[in-house]
Amino acid sequence: MKELYHSEKPLSPKDIRRKKDALKMAEILLLQHTNLSEVKYEVAYLNQCLEKISALSWWKRPSKFVQSMAIGYALGTCLEQQLGFEWIVYQDHLGKNIALKHQKEGLICFPVAATAERINNKNYSFIPAYFTKIKTQIYMPNKALPTVHYVSQGNNPEQHIEGIKRALKAGCSWIQLRLKEVEKTTYIETGHLCRTLCNQHHALLTINDCPDVALAVAADGLHLGKNDASLATARQIVGSEMIIGATVNNWQDILALKNNQPDYLGLGPLRFTNTKQKLSPVLGVEGYTRLLKKMQQQAIKLPVLAIGGIQLDDLTALKKTGVHGIAISGLLYNALDTSECFEQIVKNWV
């Protein structure tokens, strides 16, 4: 996989003038469409302003473009003032963008682009959810992970999306899009759709295998197989805040990743499964028990997800091994009633 890098630099005089002009427009809009007597860059007022101007008949080009940019810069100012972000120019393989970077955590976001995208999709009430998501990404303690992780499957992207929709509707809060042997553009397009679906259900989105796809669709996480890009290379691409998990099968795999600090390990398979080609040796419950005990003895405190052919009858025994959670695919995808199946999983696990 081609390695992708980015550069960061302060805003140029031209960038500063553009920001200043956009914020002047934002001030006018805020005073005109809220009950404020003086400008306050707060999420509630900004969202109130956006909802008001979106209802007006003249909310069309070119005013739509100018005002969406103004709202985007105002949202960026909220992040700057309330969460400790700073303005930067961010340049990667896709080109130059005005962005904000969190001074402490290094998280990078693009509120102007996010605003334009959501306005084009007529989502005029997104600002509180966007702000909350960014805030959660910063303050999420130790990247706390749900205990049930759905890994998508299907013969084509449409079937993957259908399975993801059913998993989200059933209540799953962590989704992995795992597309194999598709064009990069298809992976990104499908990833954007998954990002929207996960946002609607307040769920985490992980992308399998491809760091550049995870970055392009603003995923919450990336999962790397044993033959994918190295964790160090992936971290250079996606940054410090993205959740990165890695597949392991034996003690040597675990030791090799110990110092690279993945956020979790996907340990498996439990038993034979058709979901994955070139399957590693089957572990069984005994294998999990042995490896988790060695991790405890060596003070390796990485969360472990069991994966690979898991069935409902396995949950009690797996939980006793000490694994953090489970990654499931066929169990949920092939269920006659997805919601009922997920309810049974929750009863036995969470």
List the chain pLDDT tens, one digit each, 350 residues: 344 567 889 999 999 999 999 999 999 999 999 988 999 999 999 999 998 888 876 556 567 788 889 999 999 999 999 888 999 998 876 677 899 998 777 888 999 989 988 888 888 889 998 988 887 777 654 457 899 999 999 999 999 999 999 999 999 999 999 999 899 999 999 999 999 999 888 899 999 999 999 999 989 999 999 888 889 899 888 887 789 999 999 999 999 887 777 999 999 999 877 666 566 789 999 999 999 999 999 888 889 999 999 999 999 999 999 999 999 999 999 999 999 999 999 988 76
* Separation CA 77–CA 25 (nearest Å): 13
User: In CATH, which of 3.10.580.10, 1.20.120.1090, 1.25.40.10, 1.10.3720.10 is domain 7-139?
Assistant: 1.20.120.1090
pLDDT at 269: 94
Tokens describing residue 29: 């809009």
pLDDT at 89: 93
Question: For tokens 């013969």, what's the residue?
Answer: 155
* Separation CA 336–CA 340 (nearest Å): 9
Nearest to 182 by CA among 201, 163, 207, 204: 207
Work out whether strand 148-151 and strand 108-109 pair parallel, antiparallel, or are unpaired: unpaired
* Separation CA 279–CA 249 (nearest Å): 10
Nearest to 107 by CA among 94, 128, 126, 88: 88
Instruction: Answer yes or no: are the C-beta atoms of 243 and 263 closer than 8 Å.
Output: yes
- Tell me the HSE value of 324 on the side-chain side, using a 13 A CA sphere: 18
pLDDT at 94: 66
Q: Is CATH 3.20.20.70 the classification given to domain 141-349?
A: yes
* Separation CA 3–CA 1 (nearest Å): 6
Residue boundaries of the structural domains of the chain:
7-139, 141-349
pLDDT at 129: 87
Instruction: Answer yes or no: are the C-beta atoms of 281 and 249 closer than 8 Å.
Output: yes
- What is the phi-psi region of residue 90: left when phi exceeds 0, alpha when psi lies from -120 to 50, beta otherwise? beta
